[in-house]
Every structure is written in C-alpha cells, then in structure tokens.
Structure 1
Amino acid sequence: MKYAPLDHVAPHFLRDTEPARVASRNERDLLRLIWKSPGIERSSLTDPLDLTQQSLHRIVGRLHDRGMVAFSQSENRRPGPPSPELTLRREWCLTLGISINVGTIGLCLMGFGEPLDKMEIPQAGSSLSLEMERIEAAVEQILARRSAKRRDILGVGLAVSGHRMLDTAFNCPLPLAHWSLIDLAPLLGERLGLPVWADNVARTAALAEAIFGVGRDVADFAYIAHLHGYGGGLVSGGMPFRGSFGNAGEISVLFGRQDYDDRPALNQLLEHLRAKGRVGLTLRDLKNENLVEWDGVEEWIDRVTPAHNRAINAICAIFDPALIVLGGELPHSLARMLIERTEFNNLPRHGALRDVPGLAVANIIDAPGAIGAALIPLFETVL
C-alpha cells in the first residue's frame, strides 16, 4: 500500500479522523493569512477570505479553542466594536526538517512556521541503518534543547540530494548510494514514529528561500543549488513547482557526461583545489572568507562560467522567472564572481531587448534544505 503521511499524524493534531485532516480548506486559508501577516485584525480577514463575518468568527473561535491562534488586544482605536489581533501560537506544533547532503545531515526544528533551532551532524559511512540511528539520536538531542517531546511534532520533512524516482525514493550521488532507490519516508517514519514527507533537497532549499529569503517578494523564481552536485528548484506562485515526476528544475540534465567536469558543482571545485595542493579539503572548508584568493579558484570560475551561462539562459527560455538565486552551499564570494560573469542571450529585435531576470545570492545559507523541509508538513496540512 502506498505510504500516506497523513495517516500517521497524531490524533491530537487532527480536526477530523475520517478522512484524516488537520484543518479544513477555509481554516488553512485563514491560518496562512495570519502566518503571513502576524497581528492582523480579525475584521481585516473578511474580504480576502470571502467569508461572512459570522463564518469568520466561528472559524477563528474554533482555531482559538484548539490552541492554534492567539488573541491580543488591538492598539488601533477605530470606530466600532474592538477587533482582536491574531497570531499563530508557535507552541501549538513542532515540525522537523532533515536534509541528507554529501558530507552532512542537517536538522531544523520549527515551531508552527518559525525556525527555532538548527544542528548539523556528519554524514559518513555506507550503512543506512546506522545513519538512521544517528539521525534518531540527533532528533532526541535537538528536542531536548527545547524541552520538547516527539509527540509535539506534527510531521517531518525529509530532503534528499538526488533525482526523485518513485514515491519517496531518490537516485543519489555516489557518496549517498546507500540512500538510493529506497522508499525512505516509511522507513524513517517507522524509525521515528512520525509522519514523513520527502522531497529533493534543492526544492526544499528553494522553499526556504521563498519563505525566509530573497524570494519573499517574488512569485516566480529559479533556485540553483550548488551542492556536491549541481541542481535546482523552481518556485511558481510562491510555492515549489515539482513537475510530473518531481524533478522540475534539475538543471544537471542539461549536461552530458562529457560536460560534467565543467559544471559549477562544488565537488568539481574540491577536486580542482585538491589538485592544487589543498589535500583533504571539504565542502565546509569552502566557507573560508579568503577563498577567492586561493590558487585555482578564479581559474575554476572561468572554466565553469560557460556552463553557468548555459543554465541561466535555459532557465530564462523555459521558465522566464523574475529572479534567479544562486544558493545551495555556494560561498557568497563565488556566487558574486559567477554573477559578474553572467551573459544573457538577449539579441535586440527592432532595437529593443527583452526583460531578463535579476540575479541574487541566496540569503539562507545555513541548512536551507532542512529549513525548507521543516515547512513541508505545514504546507501539506495547515498552511
């Protein structure tokens, strides 16, 4: 039977049990408005939600009784009856994001839409069972830091580096081969006793950037994930666009095997710098502020710029976003070097140029995949 995370949500979070549902459509629309505009007055919700005042008061009252929404006294002194200000109660639920990357496993603990804590553990070895054990231990550790329990967790988002295959299976880079082609959500869900939603790590990083980063005011943007490999995600209407098979935005598909060494993938930069004498270099080491001065860095940037421009122009041609964000684990200094070298294919027609997207460096640089993954259970159930 196909794994359905909602079937594993704890009963104390559910509004209805048949079918399992945490919030109704109207409740979700209302909660998302409050989340986006904390402190919004109840009276200001009637028009955007197209609800009668009576219906709105009933829905808000039910959410307040469930402990999801908090009231506070409005400081506005407008004519008419006072209308309370509404905010989400951060402690109503926790969600957990786990990102599986080459070299590291990131965790983010989130309280009803607000990141609370992050941690990172090394990814090592080739035993999936042992890595699951270490993840479970890390979950207990991050919960203990907040004096929380597993029963406080609404759900888990799992972000995996690799192409999505069937259901929650991914085809990962070679160092993550033991994570590949296995239906991961039910496996991790059984280990943690929690519902698990899974997605590609580039898409969850794009979601984090859409909600908390430079994409907050942009409805449509593309996110290029410079990780051990080279991938990406698309955000359309403020939410990740996954495509028919869950792999929309996988720009690595643009390159054949003969081109792989010239992509702006950070494993290629590591190999290049190791050949220059920096033996044992890791992705974490690339965060060094003096990176741009290292022997071989500018040479590598020049080598991968044609592939970078190829990807940028392919994104423009197919998706036409307002913004393209360079993110993943790419150091800001290298992102700026690539942006400076970007060339758009924009030949004038009748003396006029077409509009091209802006280019930006990602704001969310610490555990973006885990932060975005922690949002998935919320967007699947209450927002």
Structure 2
Amino acid sequence: MKYDPLNHVAAHFLRDTQPVRVASRNERDLLRLIWKSPGIERSDLTEPLDLTQQSLHRIVARLHERGMLVFSHSETRRPGPPSPELTLRKEWCLTLGISVNVGSIGLCLMGFGEPLEKMEIPQAGSSLSAEMERIEAAVEELLARRGAKRRDVLGVGLAVAGHRMLETAFNCPLPLAHWSLIDLAPLLGEQLGLPVWADNVARTAALAEAIFGVGRDVADFAYIAHLHGYGGGLVSGGMPFRGNFGNAGEFSVLFGRQDYEERPALGVLLEHLRSKGRSNLTLRDLKDEKLMDWDGVTEWVDRVTPAHNRAINAICAIFDPALIVLGGELPHSLARMLIERTDFNNLPRHGVLRDVPRLAVAQITDAPGAIGAALIPLFETVL
C-alpha cells in the first residue's frame, strides 16, 4: 500500500471534526497569514481571507482552544472594540528536517515555523541501517536539548541529494549509493516512529532561502545548489516548483557526460585541489572562506565559468526569474568569483537590452537543506 505520511500523524495534532486532518483549508490560510505577519490584529484578517467576521472569530477561537495561537493585547488605539494581536504558539508542535548530503547529514529542529536547533553529523560508510540509527541518536539529542519528546513532533522532512524517482526513492551520487532506489520515507518513518515527507535536498534548500533568506521578498527565483554535485531548485509564487517527475531544477542535466567534469560542482573542485597536493581535503574543508587564496582555485573557477554561464542563461531563457541565488555549500568568496564572471547572453535589439535577473549569494548557509526539510511537514499539514 502506498505510504501516506498523513496517516501517521499523531492523534493529538488532528482536528476533532471530519474529515480528519491537522487543519482545514480556511484554518491553513489563516495560520499562514499569521505566520507571515506575527502580531497581526484579528480585525485585519477579514479582508485578505475573504471571510465574514463571524466565521473569522469562530476559526480563531477554535485554533486558540487547540493551543495553536497566542492572543496579546493590541497597543493600537482605534475606534471600535479592541481586537487581539495574534501569533503562532511556537510550542504547539515541533518538526524535524534531515538532509543527507555526500559527507554530511544535517538536522534541524523547528518550532511552529521557527528554527530552534541545528546539528551536523558525518555521513560515512555504506550501511543505510547504520546511518539511520545514527540519525535517530542525533534526533534524540536534539529533542533532549529542548526537553522535548517524539510525541511533540508533528512530522519529519527528509531531504536527499539525488534525482527523484518513484514515490520517495532517489538516485543518489555514488558515495550515497546505499541511499539510492529505496522508498526511504516509510523506512525512516518506522525507525523514528514519525510521519516522513521526502524531497530533493536542493529544493528544500531553495525553500529555506525562500522563507528565511534572500528570496523571501521575491516570488520567482532560481536556486543553484553547489554541493558534491550541481543541482538546484525553482521557486514559483514563493513555493518550490517540482515539475511532473519532481526534478525541476536539476541543472546537471544541461551537461553531457563529456562535460560533467567542467560543472561548478564542489565534488569536481575537491578532486582538482587534491590533484594540486591537498590530498586530505574533504567537502567540509571547502566551506572555508579563505579557499579563494588556495593554489588552483582561481584556475578551477576560470575552467568552470563557461558551464556556469550556460546554466545561468538556460535559467533565464526557460524560467525568466527575478533572482538567481548561488547556494548549497558554496562559500561566499567563491560565489562572488562566479558572479563576477557571469556573462548574460543579452544582445541588444533596436538598441535595447532585455531585463536580466539579479544574482545573489545565499543567506542561509548553515544546513539550508535541513531547514527547508523541516518546513515540509508544516506546509503539508497546517501552513
């Protein structure tokens, strides 16, 4: 039977009316508006939600009774009866985000829409069961830091590096072969005793950037994830666009096998620097902002610039975003070097150039995939 994480959400998070779910459509619209505008007055919600005052008061009262909202006294003095200010109660639920990358596994514990704790553990070995056990131990440590239990967790978002296949299976890079072509959500769900949603790590990083980073005020942007590989995500209308097969933003597809070593992927940079005598380097070492001064780095940037420009111009031609973000695990110094070398295919017509997107360095650089993954259970159930 197909795995549905909603069937595994704990009963105390569910509404007591039919159909059984965490929140109704109107409740979700209201909760998301409050999340985006904490402290908004109840009277200011009627118009954007297109609800009668009676319906709005009823929904707000029900959410408050469930412990999802906090009322506070409004300091605004206006005619008419006082209207309370509304915020989400961060303690109502926790969510977990887990991102599986080559060399590292990131974890994020999130309150009701607010990151609380982060952790990184090594990704090593070739045993999926062993890595899931280490993930479970890390989850217990994160919960212990907040004095929380697993019953406090609404759900888990799992982000995996690799092409999405059927359901929650991914085709991962060679170092993650043991994570490949396996329906991962039910396996991890059984390990943790929690509902699990899964997506590609580049798309969850793009979601983190959309909500908390440089993309928060941009409806449509592209996110390039410089990880061991070279992928990305597209954000449309403020939310990730996945495409028919769940692989929109897989920018490596732009390159044939003969061009694969010319992509600006950090795994390629790692091998290049090892050939220059730094044999003990790991992907984690490439986060060093001083690496732009290392022998061979400028040479590598110049070598991959044509591939970088191919990707940038393909994004412009197909998606036409307002912004392109260089992110993943790319240090800011290296991102700026690529931005400086960007060349748009923008020939003037009748003496006029077309508009091109702004290029920016990602703001969310610490566990972006895990932060975005922790948002997935919320967007699937309450926001």
* TM-score, normalised by the number of residues in structure 2: 0.99
2:23 — aligned with what?
A: 23
Alignment of 1:275 onto 2:279: no
Structure 1 residue 17: Cα displacement: 7.0
Letter of the structure 1 residue corresponding to residue 265 of structure 2:
A
Give matches, 1:248-327, under 5 Å: 248-327=248-327
Alignment of 1:193 onto 2:193: yes
Structure 1 residue 38: Cα displacement: 0.1
1:126 — aligned with what?
A: 126
**Inter-partner Cα distance in structure 2 for 1:256 and 1:289:** 31
Structure 1 residue 18: Cα displacement: 5.2
Letter of the structure 2 residue corresponding to residue 57 of structure 1:
H
2:58 — aligned with what?
A: 58
**Inter-partner Cα distance in structure 2 for 1:136 and 1:18:** 34
**Inter-partner Cα distance in structure 1 for 2:380 and 2:26:** 14
**Inter-partner Cα distance in structure 1 for 2:277 and 2:251:** 31
**Inter-partner Cα distance in structure 1 for 2:53 and 2:340:** 53
- For 1:359, what is the secondary structure of its paired residue? strand
1:355 — aligned with what?
A: 355
2:156 — aligned with what?
A: 156
1:339 — aligned with what?
A: 339
**Inter-partner Cα distance in structure 2 for 1:109 and 1:16:** 27
Cα deviations across residues 222-245 of structure 1 (Å, max 9, x unaligned)? 000000000000000000000000
Alignment of 1:208 onto 2:208: yes
- For 2:98, what is the secondary structure of its paired residue? strand
Give matches, 1:70-219, under 5 Å: 70-219=70-219
Cα deviations across residues 329-380 of structure 1 (Å, max 9, x unaligned)? 0010000000000000001111111100000000000000000000000000
Structure 1 residue 284: Cα displacement: 1.3
Judge which range, 17-26 or 121-130, deviates more.
17-26
1:32 — aligned with what?
A: 32
Alpha carbons 2:115, 2:371 under 8 Å: kept: yes
1:225 — aligned with what?
A: 225
- For 1:117, what is the secondary structure of its paired residue? strand
Change (3 A) 1:250 1:17: farther
1:365 — aligned with what?
A: 365
**Inter-partner Cα distance in structure 1 for 2:17 and 2:183:** 26
Structure 1 residue 137: Cα displacement: 0.5
Give matches, 1:34-49, under 5 Å: 34-49=34-49
Alignment of 1:329 onto 2:329: yes
Judge which range, 11-20 or 34-43, deviates more.
11-20
Alpha carbons 1:158, 1:197 under 8 Å: kept: yes
- For 2:45, what is the secondary structure of its paired residue? helix
Letter of the structure 2 residue corresponding to residue 367 of structure 1:
A
**Inter-partner Cα distance in structure 1 for 2:295 and 2:142:** 39
- For 2:107, what is the secondary structure of its paired residue? strand
Change (3 A) 1:188 1:19: farther
Change (3 A) 1:18 1:183: farther
Letter of the structure 2 residue corresponding to residue 294 of structure 1:
W
Letter of the structure 2 residue corresponding to residue 72 of structure 1:
S
**Inter-partner Cα distance in structure 1 for 2:30 and 2:247:** 31
Judge which range, 106-115 or 286-295, deviates more.
286-295
- For 1:97, what is the secondary structure of its paired residue? strand
**Structure 1 runs, 4 residues or longer, greater than 6 Å off:** none
Alpha carbons 2:290, 2:333 under 8 Å: kept: no
Alpha carbons 2:215, 2:221 under 8 Å: kept: yes
Runs (5+) with no aligned partner, structure 1: none
Cα deviations across residues 166-191 of structure 1 (Å, max 9, x unaligned)? 00000000000000000000000011
**RMSD between superposed Cα atoms in Å:** 0.7
Alpha carbons 1:292, 1:333 under 8 Å: kept: yes
Structure 1 residue 287: Cα displacement: 2.1
* TM-score, normalised by the number of residues in structure 1: 0.99
Alpha carbons 1:6, 1:20 under 8 Å: kept: no
Runs (5+) with no aligned partner, structure 2: none
Alpha carbons 1:16, 1:22 under 8 Å: kept: no
Cα deviations across residues 80-103 of structure 1 (Å, max 9, x unaligned)? 100000000000000000000000
**Inter-partner Cα distance in structure 2 for 1:110 and 1:293:** 36
**Inter-partner Cα distance in structure 2 for 1:15 and 1:259:** 53
Structure 1 residue 279: Cα displacement: 1.1
**Inter-partner Cα distance in structure 1 for 2:271 and 2:20:** 49
Change (3 A) 1:16 1:167: farther
Alpha carbons 2:93, 2:152 under 8 Å: kept: yes
Letter of the structure 2 residue corresponding to residue 118 of structure 1:
K
**Inter-partner Cα distance in structure 2 for 1:55 and 1:19:** 19
1:6 — aligned with what?
A: 6
Judge which range, 6-15 or 289-298, deviates more.
289-298
**Inter-partner Cα distance in structure 2 for 1:87 and 1:242:** 30
Count of matched residue positions in the alignment of Structure 1 and Structure 2: 383
